[in-house]
A and B are shown apart, each in its own frame.
Chain A
């Protein structure tokens, strides 16, 4: 791994002040460190944000669950408050990576990285999340821009993610049998008035499937999406699953999610 300067920031202000075009924020480091070791990313400065107290913690109000950006996956999965307010979010966190990743990895890191098969971005889309940064609030629908790409500007730091508590919800994924990454993951959330069907793993970036959302908003039953023939032209195709198989998996996992609601 190439050399860099390590900094530990005390607050968001110091963190963004240290940021430059050749720096990265370090939270759990579960993607940042492997990417640097493989030479896929190099930085002059790594700014550790784990010790910023304000960035950790979980708050539940009547309508929303707000999770600090540096909160670890294990803290989300173990939180009784999250389990009570949005059980599907707690089980999603419990299914990320392995125990050692969950002991280190953070929600903010997962979202900022926006891996096409990451679990948390689907939760943001399905649960109409608002991403709070040190500069502004961004709606999840406008946050995830493309493969590993977000609306974040250089030096902009995610501070918290605010999820809207749905009436019912469930996250179901078809994991790769070896790596356990989601080949396809579907997060279904029924809110007052509409239904979101957020899909991860299928395309280059997480998205809300409008066709299934519409069908389920009319009739919230797995029968209303049964046999739906999704357009697979933009879906990923690789050694693990063809685009056609992914299209079929999206429907299967969505049905499972609706039935589990």
Chain B
């Protein structure tokens, strides 16, 4: 048991949690931020991607303890004053989702890409999304949505 201190979506949080608590569990069960999804739980599917200190990571494969003191952004932290983030808008507009299960991770991963590469090519987008699996869309509209968001961000 240890104290976990994080800044999550701009809000300071401090909670006791067992040492074996995964970051994904901490976010979903201790903070009730259930927008971060658990898909495969084996670090392959990317549904659980969040940002830690500005970089994307798979929250099912990090301990809450080993990101202690960091700034975390989850899908819930993207909106401003009830307005969707341009990436969320683009996914909605271009049907970059069907069932929506992979979407939080897809969006968080894609936002990280555009932070590092403002105008990615199709190949760069597909390469970057290697760790995010979608079983519905066939990826075409996801890639289109990321390109659209790149023009708005």
Would B65 and A100 count as touching, CB distance under 8 A? no
Q: A3-B18, A5-B19, A26-B66 are in contact. Are A33 and B61 (CB under 8 A)?
A: yes
The yes or no answer to A192 lying at the interface (CB within 8 A) is no
A29 to B113, CA, bound (A): 22
Would A37 and B109 count as touching, CB distance under 8 A? no
Smallest CB–CB gap between B87 and chain A, Å? 16
List residues of chain B with CB within 8 A of the CB of A179.
44
Specify the main secondary structure of chain B where it touches its partner: mixed
Which of B42, B56, B109, B128 is the one whose CB lies under 8 Å from A34? B42
The yes or no answer to B20 lying at the interface (CB within 8 A) is yes
Q: A6-B65, A29-B66 are in contact. Are A100 and B18 (CB under 8 A)?
A: no
The yes or no answer to A38 lying at the interface (CB within 8 A) is yes
A106 to B112, CA, bound (A): 20
List residues of chain B with CB within 8 A of the CB of A103.
55-57
The yes or no answer to B49 lying at the interface (CB within 8 A) is yes
B interface residues, how many (CB within 8 angstroms): 28
A interface residues, how many (CB within 8 angstroms): 27
The yes or no answer to B39 lying at the interface (CB within 8 A) is no
Nearest B residue to A98 via CB reads: B131
The yes or no answer to A230 lying at the interface (CB within 8 A) is no
A101 to B22, CA, bound (A): 16
List residues of chain B with CB within 8 A of the CB of A33.
22, 43, 61-63
The yes or no answer to A147 lying at the interface (CB within 8 A) is no
Q: A interface vs B, CB < 8 Å?
A: 1-6, 8, 26, 29-30, 33-34, 37-38, 46, 48, 50, 74, 97-101, 103-104, 179-180
